[in-house]
Amino acid sequence: MENIDELDMAIGRYFAFALVGRMLEAGLYDALSRGAPKKELAATCNMEPHIFDAALHYTVRYSGLIQLDSYGQVALSDFLKSSDTARFRMLKFLGAYNACVTRPGVSNTETGLLALAYRQLARRAPSQLVSLLAELRPRNVLEIGCGSAPVLRALAVQDTSVSGLAVDNDVNMVALARELVLEQRLSDRITVSVASLLQLAKCPPTAHAPFDTVVLRSVLNGSFAEGTEPVRLLSAIASTYQEAQIVISEYLSQLGTSAGAANGSVQTLSHDLIQVFSGQGLPPANLKDWDAIYSAAGVRRLARRVDRSLAGITQFTDIVVAQPVEVNA
């Protein structure tokens, strides 16, 4: 009997998360934030009302993400409504990484849903990072793995002499970044293109070049499944953009560390789990390990800023440059 219950739970969770993903995809996020009648939601989801109803009850029962009132109105749970971070986490983790979480070993993400999650954050400039970067007086910026291009857009809004190129290897992200660049009337200064990090290293773009600043925010953390990959990527970028200051902005993991076990933050540990389930690997848990990556990649760290202001999450920003190769006389 116990096994049947567990199976029931697993199917329920899978169904619940899949439904949340489907609802997000169908653009129901805003409707859910306000609360909407079940019938309306079923129609928007293009689902048979009785199937939608059954799925909804599973979702309410097992995921705790959605609540149903006695009038048949469906809404996001109070805890999701009350916090931007919680909403973003739901979109990102349950939407984009839903397939990975419910089926461990699946390494692809729903990139359309990931772009949707980033849309929710699109207008929120990472202010600490932007003010740190503004101190570096960037002019021509290359933002790699740009997502919605939050850094370049924020710098360009703040300073009209900033221009640059934002690239991502995901077409959904590029579409989102382009849309926001247009919306903010920045398209005369910002170009957005589809390109992978290694493509950029092999064939540097000419638009806006030469770059004085290269931004890699939350990009290297996706390359930790294979031990030497972050070193390979960073060294490729550093040797291509030797004149640029390279800005690396990441978080420290906690999963599997004694600090994480004793006093880990839910945010960091859930991020860590997603990293593992989605096949991205676990980034370092301490700054010394990042320094070891820099030495192996042949870059020198010029500055570091650590930010622990966000509930239990340690984020940091390092400025590195390519080391000149020493020639023995």
Ligand X SMILES: C[S@@+](CC[C@H](N)C(=O)[O-])C[C@H]1O[C@@H](n2cnc3c(N)ncnc32)[C@H](O)[C@@H]1O
Which residues of the shown chain bind ligand X in the complex (CB under 6 A)? 144-147, 150, 168-170, 173, 196-197, 217-219, 222
Minimum distance of ligand X from residue 196's CB (angstroms): 4
Tokens read off for 87: 């909403």
Minimum distance of ligand X from residue 172's CB (angstroms): 8
Minimum distance of ligand X from residue 80's CB (angstroms): 21
Q: Is 305 helix (H, G, I), strand (E, B) or coil?
A: strand
How far is residue 207's CA from residue 303's CA, in Å, rounded to a whole number?
28
- Which CB, 77 or 184, lies closer to ligand X? 184
Burial of 226 (0-12, 13-18, 19+ CB in 10 A): exposed
- Which CB, 173 or 320, lies closer to ligand X? 173
- Which CB, 55 or 173, lies closer to ligand X? 173
- Which CB, 57 or 232, lies closer to ligand X? 232
Minimum distance of ligand X from residue 119's CB (angstroms): 11
How far is residue 210's CA from residue 98's CA, in Å, rounded to a whole number?
40
Q: What are phi and psi of 213, to 5 degrees?
A: -140, 130
Q: What is the side-by-side order of every strand in the sheet holding 140-144?
A: 190-194, 163-168, 140-144, 213-217, 245-251, 313-322, 299-310
**44: how many CB neighbours lie within 10 A of its CB?**
15
- Which CB, 42 or 168, lies closer to ligand X? 168
- Which CB, 63 or 245, lies closer to ligand X? 245
159-162 contacts, C-beta under 8 A, 24 or more apart: 159/134, 160/189, 162/138, 162/189
Minimum distance of ligand X from residue 145's CB (angstroms): 3
For residue 303, the one-letter residue type is: A
Minimum distance of ligand X from residue 255's CB (angstroms): 17
Burial of 198 (0-12, 13-18, 19+ CB in 10 A): middle
Spatial CB neighbours of 40, under 8 Å, sequence gap ≥ 6:
31
Strand ranges, E, within 146-219: 163-168, 190-194, 213-217
Tokens read off for 162: 């900033």
- Which CB, 82 or 107, lies closer to ligand X? 107
- Which CB, 12 or 279, lies closer to ligand X? 279
Minimum distance of ligand X from residue 258's CB (angstroms): 27
* CB-closest chain residue to ligand X: 147
Minimum distance of ligand X from residue 179's CB (angstroms): 14
